[in-house]
Chains A and B, each alone.
Chain A
């Protein structure tokens, strides 16, 4: 009973972390049709920057949440720069986009190694969230429960932004028909920069929020990027609801799959991904076939 409870609870909370990880990728891919393969590196960069602020870059340590916000803003700005200087030149050129995003991920990964070294960095669980919640005989870490709440807040915020604000309407117009949108006076190029920055910022935020669970180490980017891709595929691209539900589903597959089918641990995510792609290439919630 304990076992099932813990796994179920973790499925939801791990799903929350996956949502934070993949929301940025899904946003950029869904809205700009760019496969942002730098996503994992931005996640890792955000984690490294965040942990540096927490540990005390300027002689004093910052509050975890402040550090997370700062890291998010820094990486978002960096993302905006990437879009403006590099990606803007390559509209629709998927191969060049792959080349530049992978090239950037090499550079960012090596930069992190240079600055922070090879040893893993511990991220202290923020104050007040280090304890347990007892459900019957099971103990569940409080911080993981906090993550699902954070994920829900972020999801709600994104939905509000895209569905209920003028900015969101402009973004959606720019995505559906960029030329028409320009004719109507929407600054599509500037919006794309904002969207990419937002996606990058989300990746960084996920990185530092995930820090207390995952720690930060070289190779974190390569470990997390495939997970983001699996979520995006299963949940469908460009759909926020799809992203959220997809994340929870992947959370369940990951937890129960690895626990109950240890022989298939390596395939527990990619087999379902393959099946979904074969049967329904647009993902479970996607609107259009990619």
Chain B
């Protein structure tokens, strides 16, 4: 089930990662051009550290692969620990912009952190590449200096709902997700597409963020033919364990975080059969992805999930934009325009480009968790069963009409009687 715990290797890798992150990369003795300053807003302490540590691993892997160079310029990397709260994020983004004078910023991790700094970023005119899924950042309150190579919360749920209705033939689904915006937006997106394809959402359950025991919610899951969950962080592990322990056998579908590849080493038999829709899958059989996965395994003794992979992809976007500008990052307006104009094919997540809001249009992968096809020493594996190409944040909907409807929330779309 889980990989043998190799403490020494892990400690060494963690120390290497910590050392690399703690100390800035060395300034070049003879600089052909001034170094390109890249900042990262991540969370390395506290409950969000799981995703935050992985984000940094993705960036470090890219920098190591490219020998710390981007478009012919040395990279000076600044990693900032926001502590996972908005005030800390604000302080750290100021540190990166005002003290370290970075040219671009990767991160932050959480939507509430992103919302705390979005105005500042627009004023400071520094391109920000985040994987925080807050919908309105690229919809009703777009930020011209923002670009997102991952997905909006609903972007991976629309195809999931499509697949659940058309291929899994589910008709009556109960949704359960954490009681905050990421949960609302995921489930809202799922509901809209699911109900348009003949399905019905029976109930929407919202356990608070801090819920040690999901039994009060699991007890309400009955008389349906499927469950859609949107848990993030460490919660999916606990939820699926308690779900299986409660004897529930309905098929489970989820999104980006519910069956993340980084959790494969921790999951047990309780996760067998989960179907998920994600922007990144380890299963993608391309040279670029294989190279990336092997680097993560080798350097950090862990498996890449969304956070690591999408930060790696963000670095690719930065470099591609820099190349298009011949290494000139002095005009930030040109830099963000160049970033949004980037179109790549060989990334760990496959081909991608951006829409006019700065949100990605790319491939999304439907996978089923099982024992078949497991690689790299894992017992469990997410095997790709379908790929949706060219999925944008508006799915198949008309952009204007989509923007007229309210942002997905706890009560929108409303439950049908």
Name A residues whose Cβ lies closer than 8 Å to a Cβ of B.
2-3, 6-7, 10, 14, 52, 55-57, 109-110, 113-115, 117-122, 124-125, 132, 139-141, 143-144, 212-215, 217-219, 222-224, 227, 254-259, 262, 265-266
Q: Is the CB of A224 within 8 A of B212?
A: yes
A55: chain B residues within 8 A (beta carbon): 2, 4-5
Q: Which of B190-228 contact A (CB under 8 A)?
A: 205-208, 210-213, 215-217, 219-220, 222
B263 interface residue, CB < 8 Å from A? yes
Given contacts A3-B219, A118-B54, contact A215 B49 (CB under 8 A): no
Please measure, in the bound complex, the distance between the C-alpha atom of A265 and the C-alpha atom of B212, giving whole angstroms. 13
Please measure, in the bound complex, the distance between the C-alpha atom of A223 and the C-alpha atom of B207, giving whole angstroms. 14
Closest chain-B Cβ to A85's Cβ sits at a distance in Å of: 25
Q: Is the CB of A259 within 8 A of B217?
A: yes
Please measure, in the bound complex, the distance between the C-alpha atom of A144 and the C-alpha atom of B52, giving whole angstroms. 33
Q: Is the CB of A141 within 8 A of B52?
A: no
The residue in chain B whose Cβ has the minimal distance to the Cβ of A226 is B210
A212: chain B residues within 8 A (beta carbon): 241
Q: Is the CB of B207 within 8 A of A122?
A: no
The residue in chain B whose Cβ has the minimal distance to the Cβ of A214 is B212
The residue in chain B whose Cβ has the minimal distance to the Cβ of A9 is B215
The residue in chain B whose Cβ has the minimal distance to the Cβ of A2 is B222
The residue in chain B whose Cβ has the minimal distance to the Cβ of A132 is B247
Per a CB cutoff under 8 Å, which of B1, B210, B213 touches A14?
A: B213
B262: chain A residues within 8 A (beta carbon): 119
Q: Is the CB of A143 within 8 A of B216?
A: no
A143: chain B residues within 8 A (beta carbon): 245
| Binding-face segment, B112-120, B264-272, B322-330, B331-339 | B264-272
In this complex, the member of B1, B51, B208 whose beta carbon has the largest number of chain A beta carbons within 10 angstroms is: B208
Per a CB cutoff under 8 Å, which of A115, A120, A139 touches B263?
A: A120
6 contacts between A and B (CB under 8 A): A117-B10, A119-B266, A122-B1, A139-B247, A217-B238, A262-B206
Q: Is the CB of B219 within 8 A of A119?
A: no
In this complex, the member of B1, B11, B206, B234 whose beta carbon has the largest number of chain A beta carbons within 10 angstroms is: B234
Closest chain-B Cβ to A84's Cβ sits at a distance in Å of: 29
Q: Is the CB of B217 within 8 A of A122?
A: no
Closest chain-A Cβ to B85's Cβ sits at a distance in Å of: 13
Q: Is the CB of A6 within 8 A of B212?
A: no
Please measure, in the bound complex, the distance between the C-alpha atom of A55 and the C-alpha atom of B3, giving whole angstroms. 9
B237: chain A residues within 8 A (beta carbon): 120, 122, 215, 217
Per a CB cutoff under 8 Å, which of A217, A259, A265 touches B219?
A: A259
Per a CB cutoff under 8 Å, which of A139, A218, A266 touches B246?
A: A139
Considering the complex of A and B, which 3 residue pairs feature the smallest CB-CB distances, nearest first?
A219-B47, A139-B247, A118-B50
B49: chain A residues within 8 A (beta carbon): 113, 118, 218
Given contacts A120-B238, A255-B215, contact A218 B207 (CB under 8 A): no
In this complex, the member of B245, B246, B267 whose beta carbon has the largest number of chain A beta carbons within 10 angstroms is: B245
The residue in chain A whose Cβ has the minimal distance to the Cβ of B7 is A57
B53: chain A residues within 8 A (beta carbon): 117-118
Please measure, in the bound complex, the distance between the C-alpha atom of A139 and the C-alpha atom of B265, giving whole angstroms. 28
The residue in chain A whose Cβ has the minimal distance to the Cβ of B49 is A118
Given contacts A141-B245, A219-B234, A223-B210, contact A6 B47 (CB under 8 A): no
Q: Is the CB of A215 within 8 A of B5?
A: no
Tally of contacts, chain A with chain B, CB under 8 A: 133
B299 interface residue, CB < 8 Å from A? no
A259: chain B residues within 8 A (beta carbon): 216-217, 219-220
The residue in chain B whose Cβ has the minimal distance to the Cβ of A7 is B219
B179 interface residue, CB < 8 Å from A? yes
Q: Is the CB of A258 within 8 A of B217?
A: yes
Please measure, in the bound complex, the distance between the C-alpha atom of A76 and the C-alpha atom of B234, giving whole angstroms. 27
Q: Is the CB of A258 within 8 A of B46?
A: no
Given contacts A55-B5, A120-B266, A262-B206, contact A218 B50 (CB under 8 A): yes
Please measure, in the bound complex, the distance between the C-alpha atom of A144 and the C-alpha atom of B218, giving whole angstroms. 15
Q: Is the CB of B216 within 8 A of A213?
A: no
Q: Is the CB of B220 within 8 A of A3?
A: yes
B286 interface residue, CB < 8 Å from A? no
A218: chain B residues within 8 A (beta carbon): 46-47, 49-50, 234
The residue in chain B whose Cβ has the minimal distance to the Cβ of A113 is B49
Q: Is the CB of A266 within 8 A of B50?
A: no
Closest chain-B Cβ to A14's Cβ sits at a distance in Å of: 5
Q: Is the CB of A255 within 8 A of B50?
A: no
B152 interface residue, CB < 8 Å from A? no
Closest chain-B Cβ to A34's Cβ sits at a distance in Å of: 25
Closest chain-B Cβ to A267's Cβ sits at a distance in Å of: 10
B22: chain A residues within 8 A (beta carbon): none
Q: Is the CB of B51 within 8 A of A118?
A: yes
Given contacts A7-B216, A122-B267, A254-B213, contact A262 B205 (CB under 8 A): yes
Q: Is the CB of A119 within 8 A of B265?
A: yes
Q: Is the CB of B212 within 8 A of A223?
A: yes
Contact with A along B44-75 (1 / 0, CB 8 A): 01110111111000000000000000000000
Q: Which of B1-58 contact A (CB under 8 A)?
A: 1-2, 4-5, 7, 10-11, 14, 45-47, 49-54
Q: Is the CB of B213 within 8 A of A217?
A: no
B302 interface residue, CB < 8 Å from A? yes
B242 interface residue, CB < 8 Å from A? yes
A110: chain B residues within 8 A (beta carbon): 45
Please measure, in the bound complex, the distance between the C-alpha atom of A113 and the C-alpha atom of B233, giving whole angstroms. 15
Per a CB cutoff under 8 Å, which of B14, B213, B245 touches A117?
A: B14
Q: Is the CB of B51 within 8 A of A124?
A: no
Given contacts A14-B213, A213-B213, A218-B49, contact A265 B207 (CB under 8 A): yes
Please measure, in the bound complex, the distance between the C-alpha atom of A10 and the C-alpha atom of B268, giving whole angstroms. 23
A3: chain B residues within 8 A (beta carbon): 219-220, 222
A56: chain B residues within 8 A (beta carbon): 4-5
B46: chain A residues within 8 A (beta carbon): 109, 218-219
B11: chain A residues within 8 A (beta carbon): 115
Please measure, in the bound complex, the distance between the C-alpha atom of A278 and the C-alpha atom of B358, giving whole angstroms. 53
Please measure, in the bound complex, the distance between the C-alpha atom of A259 and the C-alpha atom of B265, giving whole angstroms. 32
Q: Is the CB of A7 within 8 A of B4?
A: no
Closest chain-B Cβ to A193's Cβ sits at a distance in Å of: 31
Q: Is the CB of B215 within 8 A of A7?
A: yes
Please measure, in the bound complex, the distance between the C-alpha atom of A117 and the C-alpha atom of B263, giving whole angstroms. 13
Please measure, in the bound complex, the distance between the C-alpha atom of A10 and the C-alpha atom of B179, giving whole angstroms. 22
